[in-house]
Amino acid sequence: MIPPFSADARRGELIRPPRFLPAVDWPHEHKSFAFGPWDIGSGNSSPDMSRGNYGAGWVAYLESGGGTYLQKKMPNDVWDGSPRYLLALVGGIKKISLEFAPTGFVIIGYLRPDRAMGVWWRNPDTGLPQLLDLDTDVQDMVLTVENKDDPTSTDVFLWYFKNGGLYLRQYSERFAVVHGPFFSGVTDPVIIQAGINHRYGYQVDYRDNAL
Amino acid sequence: MNEINTQNQIGIKGAYAYQVIDDVTGDIVVDVPEQTNLILDSYLDIPRPLPNQTTFLCLGSGVVTPPSVTDTDLGNQVAGTYMGGWSVGTYQDSTDNFLISLRSTTDFTNIINNEISELGVRLNNSTGTLITRALIKDTNGNPASISVGEGQTLRFTYSLYFKIPKAIFSGSVSTPHGIIEYEYSIGDQVVTQSLIEAFVRYSEYGGSNQGQAYAVYFSNGSSAGSYGSKSLDIPNRKVISTFNVPAATSDRILGAPASTGWTDRLLFKMARYNDPFHFRVPKNATRLTLPANYDLTVQLEITWGRLP
């Protein structure tokens, strides 16, 4: 079942629109925006949480060579030009989704070329970066923070379509539990955005490329 | 007070080789020679050649993110085990420096169903500070993965190379009483592999953290003790050791007599066990007379870093 929609979450906004973030004007295969900690030294190092979480804009982008990099938005509406090498996988990556844990550590959701899906995150139980291969035959996926207004204890959701049905895994459950399908019958879905709609609860917007 | 300043650079490099061995037949299924390993910044934060903590070899799977000197973790660690002791791998006494490597062999027997793609060394335990990181390479040096089957052992031979400059430093410094010509060197008459090994294993750059004892030698064969201090500059990989020859009531000629064997013209040495470094007066140099009531201060700057 879909997780209960907490009263606090109603203060949250649907999505902080990425249209307010600078353009990514260099060659890349795919990109994903998110708001996160103030700074990160290198890809898997500890984040600088001295100015809180979910306040600074970040972009993760996938280059043609298979490497995933991270850059931070500067105050003058440019990216900082300091690519932090995040992740490269044996077998490559097809698509990524970026979010940040309440601890400020990067979470990368990935789709492999063979449509296997997983997340690369820092497992709170071990304190170490971990590659979690979660499912196969996934059509699309996106990570989203449940409620940025509760930055220290918010959950992070992994929404994904498989066989035309929408499923959910949660950071709080170590992405181990599958919820759903919440609806099915979609042929070729692509997720546009996901988040909280303060009127209706959780919302996942998608388009069906088969239509 | 008169001063001598000198410097010395020590280099470190890491490498690994691996084999996949059939447990029953002992056959070597895969044999890949040494590949370069990256010494991370966290290693160079340690002010000594070989860490004095226990070391754990850790393996990662699936991730092939290129190593960076600022890395603090493997991308996806799946195994880690105590490395055991370090033995001397190679030793070379060349014209300008000593090269020595320490080697440790570690076996992994239970990593089936993992595509091993990266490795690193951690301090203290399998989740401790990561000090080296490398991707698994094939014999051609290209990133690769290791598959270990049932009944097979994955054996890593991990090496750390240390370059200890022999020439270290020489020069002269002008004092109100004359010129001191000096060499800061490793005693060429006495240095053995075991001395260099001991230096790499047990020494902190610039001497121990406790009060550092030095000895200064004079032409009459006598010596005088002195205590120095140490100033560590970790971000710049530099330590400055300072020690002082206290003033005395009579004139003294610096440097031991030439007849005392390995202490030939010895000017100073760190009076620490197995420390092979010392200052010398070159054999054809004029030894300086340190007048009565004057002291002398020596500053020794040692730097360290990665070898290419």
* Amino acid identity, position B78: V
Chain B's closest residue to A131, CA to CA, is B76
Mutate to test the interface with A, among B63, B125, B126, B146 (most CBs of A within 10 A): B63
Banded pLDDT at B261 (limits 50, 70, 90): very low
Range B249-278 average pLDDT = 62
Helix, strand, or coil here: A10? helix
Judged against a pLDDT cut of 70, whether residue B209 lies above it is answered with no
Minimum mean pLDDT among A80-89, A198-207, B51-60, B251-260: which range? B251-260
Please give the residue that has the higher pLDDT: either B211 or B184. Answer: B184
Contact across the interface for A90 and B68, Cβ inside 8 Å: no
* A43, A67, A128 ranked by CB distance to B77: nearest: A128
CB-CB neighbours of A94 under 10 Å: 17
Contact across the interface for B117 and A90, Cβ inside 8 Å: yes
Range B2-7 average pLDDT = 50
Banded pLDDT at B212 (limits 50, 70, 90): low
Judged against a pLDDT cut of 70, whether residue B290 lies above it is answered with yes
pTM reported for the whole predicted model: 0.85
Contact across the interface for A89 and B145, Cβ inside 8 Å: no
What pLDDT, on the 0 to 100 scale, is given for residue B121? 97
Minimum mean pLDDT among B46-60, B169-183, B206-220, B223-237: which range? B206-220
Which of A22, A168, A161, A180 minimizes the C-alpha distance to A95? A161
What pLDDT, on the 0 to 100 scale, is given for residue B100? 93
What pLDDT, on the 0 to 100 scale, is given for residue B160? 96
Residue A85 contacts B where some CB pair is shorter than 8 Å: yes
Mean pLDDT of chain B: 82
Q: How far is A12 from chain B (nearest CA, A)?
A: 33
What pLDDT, on the 0 to 100 scale, is given for residue B276? 55
**For the CA atoms of chain A, what is the radius of gyration?**
16
Judged against a pLDDT cut of 80, whether residue B154 lies above it is answered with yes
Contact across the interface for A42 and B65, Cβ inside 8 Å: no
Which residues from A are below 8 Å from B125, CB to CB? none
Residue A211 contacts B where some CB pair is shorter than 8 Å: no
d(C-alpha B164, C-alpha B199), whole Å: 10
Banded pLDDT at B270 (limits 50, 70, 90): low
What pLDDT, on the 0 to 100 scale, is given for residue B207? 65
Judged against a pLDDT cut of 70, whether residue B203 lies above it is answered with yes
What pLDDT, on the 0 to 100 scale, is given for residue B192? 77
d(C-alpha A182, C-alpha A204), whole Å: 11
Contact across the interface for A41 and B70, Cβ inside 8 Å: yes
What pLDDT, on the 0 to 100 scale, is given for residue B214? 64
Judged against a pLDDT cut of 70, whether residue B146 lies above it is answered with yes
Residue B105 near residue B79 (C-beta atoms within 8 A): no
Banded pLDDT at B273 (limits 50, 70, 90): very low
Contact across the interface for A89 and B64, Cβ inside 8 Å: yes
Judged against a pLDDT cut of 80, whether residue B236 lies above it is answered with yes
Contact across the interface for A129 and B76, Cβ inside 8 Å: yes
Q: How far is B65 from chain A (nearest CA, A)?
A: 5
Q: Say what the ipTM of the complex is.
A: 0.86
What pLDDT, on the 0 to 100 scale, is given for residue B210? 47
What pLDDT, on the 0 to 100 scale, is given for residue B258? 62
CB-CB neighbours of B231 under 10 Å: 12
Give whichever of B49-53, B113-117, B121-125 has the largest mean pLDDT. Answer: B121-125
In chain A, which residues have pLDDT < 70? Answer: 1-19, 44
Judged against a pLDDT cut of 60, whether residue B5 lies above it is answered with no
Contact across the interface for A44 and B76, Cβ inside 8 Å: no
d(C-alpha B15, C-alpha B13), whole Å: 7
B100, burial (CB in 10 Å: exposed 0-12, middle 13-18, buried 19+): buried
Range B167-177 average pLDDT = 67
Q: How far is B193 from chain A (nearest CA, A)?
A: 39
Chain B's closest residue to A68, CA to CA, is B65
What pLDDT, on the 0 to 100 scale, is given for residue A19? 62
Helices (H) and strands (E) in chain B, counts: 2, 20
Judged against a pLDDT cut of 50, whether residue B263 lies above it is answered with no
d(C-alpha B245, C-alpha A194), whole Å: 73
Taken in order A191, A196, A198, A202, is the CA torsion positive or negative?
Answer: positive
**C-alpha torsion B132→B199→B197→B139, nearest 10:** 20
Residue A130 contacts B where some CB pair is shorter than 8 Å: yes
Banded pLDDT at B287 (limits 50, 70, 90): confident
What pLDDT, on the 0 to 100 scale, is given for residue B187? 54
Which of B269, B305, B273, B60 minimizes the C-alpha distance to B185? B269
Touching A: B residues 225-264, CB under 8 Å = none
**C-alpha torsion B83→B87→B90→B93, nearest 10:** 130
